[in-house]
Structure 1
């Protein structure tokens, strides 16, 4: 249970953020290709190219064909975060089996002048959004004491379900580094469709490394936040998707284990 001092501190920080018109989030939309439950079941072949994905948004995250690393998009560029911890620009003809993007229109802006861990930042974002039933996209640029990431290695046919694929995933710790966090917060009711809660990817300031975020401690930085109330989903036309098991009693726990 949060104590009163913690809650008051979170509210004070959230109040210090500058805000644009509160109804501007109505203009924003999250575009998603495929479902998180399909990825969990091993649907790793995509039918959307990176070029097609960028027609729907310039900011987001996901993965690549054959689960070949993590995808992070911002500033109209898409980066591939690879299993060795490195990063490179993605080609427009590469495909994705799952990605979430938006045309990023932040309406809230703030600064972190002191250190905050992942959970403190998440509490501040929850306070800013207000309702647990809306989506948000956020970007944090700053200095980090550490960022712990993982990157799923490329898979080959026959594909294993994601929980088996991540059993030996490499984990990396970036220490005393600058970089960018790109993330979404999704409502609990979309678990399986997307990832309920926070889903965040990281790339270093020199754009040479990164991955799916497990934990971090921010030293100082800036944050931009967009509140979003529309979701659009395109389902794949592949045979693999049509045969996939997209719901099970263990789905929620499987996603939590896969996404950290």
Structure 2
């Protein structure tokens, strides 16, 4: 066998070995495309596809171009939660202006056998991960007594900022439904880059409905969560992003108002 062929085979084997290693030992890394402050100011179109996102993680949330529904991802499946309350599997070529992904590596597990509200669930995480400067990814599988969600309708140019379109967001309540909540706890120092505090999305067990969570009560279920200590941000280079005002005076209050 000649050296060039041997080198080629060795290179392929190395690439395969590295890929296998990353699949079995994924890093605790958050990958993020764009900034929350850009989304807030009306940058609703991006070039990152759903297929691209799945190379960066198997778990996450975000939105779609034109702000057309909420994005929820887990178990390497991505779903689009629309403003009519419906849900469907996202297509690989659909694009997002803002998304946060990770390879979910839960370190902690807590089984709730009695009804518990959102704040109490968050306290379980806060007591385990006591530093407010630490990122966490969380997932809840169970029966929800109620889950209140909202989804902003698809937007069209010229785009208005998110605070300007809040009055036109449908709100849905799912009662006595099994489903999945996925989310992130993000440090306060990240406000504007991401959404500080807890940011969670919900989808029903039949994968037919859901949205951005405003509040919920878990009847019974399992919480799993893990810490994340690395962040990668992919910044857009298009005109909309480069011309956007990413540091408005009321940034913190604006994000709190749109994210509930």
TM over 0.5: yes
- The answer for the alignment partner of 1:44 in structure 2 is 44
- 2:243 is the counterpart of 1:243: yes
- SS of the counterpart of 1:66? helix
Residues 1-260 of structure 1: pairs in structure 2 closer than 5 A: 27-260=27-260
Q: Distance in 2 between matches of 1:26 and 1:53?
A: 15
Contact 1:47–1:238 at 8 Å: present in 2 too? no
Q: Provide, for residues 183-213 of structure 1, a one-character-per-residue CA deviation record: whole Å limited to 9, x for no partner.
A: 0000000000000000000000110000000
Contact 1:155–1:165 at 8 Å: present in 2 too? no
Contact 1:71–1:79 at 8 Å: present in 2 too? yes
Contact 2:38–2:244 at 8 Å: present in 1 too? yes
Runs of at least 5 residues in structure 1 that lack an aligned partner in the other structure: 1-24
Contact 1:81–1:87 at 8 Å: present in 2 too? yes
Contact 2:32–2:100 at 8 Å: present in 1 too? yes
Q: Distance in 1 between matches of 2:98 and 2:166?
A: 16
Contact 1:26–1:228 at 8 Å: present in 2 too? no
- SS of the counterpart of 1:192? coil
TM normalised by structure 2 equals: 0.89
- The answer for the alignment partner of 1:12 in structure 2 is none
Q: Distance in 1 between matches of 2:104 and 2:155?
A: 31
4+ residue stretches of structure 1 with deviation over 6 A? Answer: none
Q: Provide, for residues 78-130 of structure 1, a one-character-per-residue CA deviation record: whole Å limited to 9, x for no partner.
A: 00000000000000000000000000011111201111101111111111212
The offset of 1:164, in angstroms, is 1.1
Runs of at least 5 residues in structure 2 that lack an aligned partner in the other structure: 1-24
Q: Distance in 1 between matches of 2:186 and 2:26?
A: 16
CA RMSD, aligned part only?
Answer: 1.1
Q: Provide, for residues 129-179 of structure 1, a one-character-per-residue CA deviation record: whole Å limited to 9, x for no partner.
A: 121101000000000110000001000000000011222100000001100
